[in-house]
């Protein structure tokens, strides 16, 4: 396939550009359907005339249906999108990028999704879908799945397919952070459990209590039981946040955030703040998953996107050789630029 692609790119490069454009149009319709032509043109930053021409072509091919409420992708269109994934992956050279990420980050596997999250919001949905399919293949009978909160993990849960496994348990990896209930770890754990027919445990505890309050809480029988299941999880799905972003979500005061940043904090994951080289800078009072547990979990899947997350991704060290990263093309290329400039 690679040889054929190289030949086509040299002799008829415009064919590749047209293929990628139609793929992007079809994908945007799929993730925003039903959608009108004007809204689609704005999403793609293309002229309405160009969009109209391309959409008409897709309609003639039976890939798009147009009605009074907008455009929608047909079943054949969905199949084409799925079949085009590997081809677009190769055209964009993402296999090479994945290998570089695995080397530079010291992780087991990198999965890079085409596109730039900072320019295209549908990329996060695609990242969630790809991550969900990867996790689906890891789940076995009796699996315990732990999830953190956040918008990235929420997309994984939203895109999770049905599975047929027995005696599954989903647990929140931490207490509640921030004020958005829809992306709290407990909310996502319950939602995922319903989707895959699993049992679940909840944490009715905020994740930003004082050490003294947390010490009292963890001795409560129900909380103690949930914590014991978390430590036995064999799959962990988590997001990576910048130190400043996560400190704000935790409700830290401005002076505390400034001190954290001045001490070199770059990223946060499961309550631990990491410096540029992966060193611990600060451990927040948190209930749930501990770093020693992370090192021993059989499968850990991180999902993070956007160029602004590059330093955070580089700095997050789980000390787990089985870590898999699902990222967008934009941040993947940014990480490689950073690591290669350091090498020079």
Last residue of a domain, one of 91, 117, 140: 91
Structure confidence at residue 212 (pLDDT): 65
Task: Residue 231: count other Cβ atoms within 10 Å of its Cβ.
Answer: 16
Asked whether residue 99 falls in the same domain as residue 36, the answer is no
Closest CA to 57 of 29, 84, 82, 34: 29
Distance CA 219, CA 326 (A): 36
Q: Which residue has the higher pLDDT, 88 or 138?
A: 138
Per residue in 257-282, pLDDT tens? Answer: 888 888 888 888 877 888 888 888 88
- Burial, 302: exposed, middle or buried (Cβ in 10 Å; 0-12, 13-18, 19+)? buried
Peptide bond into 253 cis (omega under 30): no
Asked whether residue 275 falls in the same domain as residue 127, the answer is yes
CATH assignment of the domain containing 146: 3.40.50.1360
Print the domain residue range for 272: 94-343
Q: Where are the beta strands (DSSP E) in the chain?
A: 64-67, 70-73, 109-113, 144-147, 169-172, 199-200, 235-239, 241-242, 267-269, 272-274, 280-283, 299-303, 323-328
Q: Mean pLDDT over all residues of the chain? A: 85
Q: Is the sign of the CA dihedral 286, 288, 290, 295 positive or negative?
A: negative
Q: Count of domains in the chain?
A: 2
Last residue of a domain, one of 40, 64, 91: 91
HSE-CB of 166 using CA atoms within 13 angstroms: 0
Asked whether residue 106 falls in the same domain as residue 76, the answer is no
CATH assignment of the domain containing 43: 1.10.10.10
Residues 6+ away with beta carbon under 8 Å from 55: 25, 29, 37, 40, 64, 66, 71
Task: Residue 30: count other Cβ atoms within 10 Å of its Cβ.
Answer: 19
- Is residue 307 pLDDT above 60, yes or no? yes
Structure confidence at residue 243 (pLDDT): 84
Asked whether residue 175 falls in the same domain as residue 290, the answer is yes
Per residue in 149-182, pLDDT tens? Answer: 888 999 999 999 888 899 999 999 876 665 667 8
Cβ–Cβ < 8 Å for 290, 77 = no
Asked whether residue 71 falls in the same domain as residue 112, the answer is no
Overall average pLDDT of the 36-43 stretch: 88
Asked whether residue 68 falls in the same domain as residue 121, the answer is no
Last residue of a domain, one of 65, 91, 117: 91
- Is residue 344 pLDDT above 60, yes or no? no
Cβ–Cβ < 8 Å for 123, 305 = yes
Asked whether residue 186 falls in the same domain as residue 299, the answer is yes
């Amino acid at each position: 396939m690679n040889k054929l692609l190289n030949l086509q790119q040299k002799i008829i490069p415009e064919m590749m550009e047209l293929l990628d454009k139609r793929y992007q149009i079809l994908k945007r319709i799929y993730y925003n359907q039903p959608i009108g032509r004007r809204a689609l043109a704005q999403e793609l930053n293309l002229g309405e005339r160009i969009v109209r021409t391309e959409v008409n072509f897709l309609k003639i091919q039976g890939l798009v249906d147009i009605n009074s409420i907008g455009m929608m992708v047909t079943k054949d269109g969905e199949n084409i999108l799925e079949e085009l994934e590997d081809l677009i992956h190769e055209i964009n050279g993402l296999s090479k990028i994945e290998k570089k990420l695995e080397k530079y980050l010291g992780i087991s596997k990198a999965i890079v999704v085409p596109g730039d999250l900072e320019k295209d919001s549908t990329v996060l949905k695609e990242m969630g879908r790809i991550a969900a399919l990867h996790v689906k293949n890891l789940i076995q009978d009796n699996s315990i799945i732990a999830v953190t909160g956040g918008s990235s993990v929420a997309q994984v849960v939203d895109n999770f397919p049905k599975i047929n496994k027995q005696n599954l348990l989903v647990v929140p990896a931490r207490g509640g952070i921030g004020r958005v209930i829809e992306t709290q770890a407990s909310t996502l754990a319950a939602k995922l459990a319903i989707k895959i027919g699993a049992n679940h445990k909840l944490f009715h505890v905020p994740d930003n209590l004082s050490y003294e309050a947390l010490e009292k809480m963890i001795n409560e029988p129900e909380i103690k039981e949930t914590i014991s299941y978390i430590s036995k999880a064999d799959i962990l799905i988590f997001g990576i946040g910048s130190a400043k972003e996560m400190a704000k979500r935790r409700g830290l005061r401005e002076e505390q955030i400034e001190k954290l940043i001045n001490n070199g904090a770059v990223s946060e994951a499961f309550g631990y703040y990491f410096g540029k080289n992966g060193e611990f800078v600060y451990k927040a009072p948190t209930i749930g998953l501990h770093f020693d547990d992370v090192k021993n979990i059989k499968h850990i899947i991180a999902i993070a996107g956007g160029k602004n997350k590059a330093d955070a991704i580089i700095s997050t060290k789980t000390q787990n050789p089985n870590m898999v990263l699902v990222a967008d093309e934009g941040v993947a290329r940014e990480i490689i630029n950073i690591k290669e400039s350091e090498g020079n």
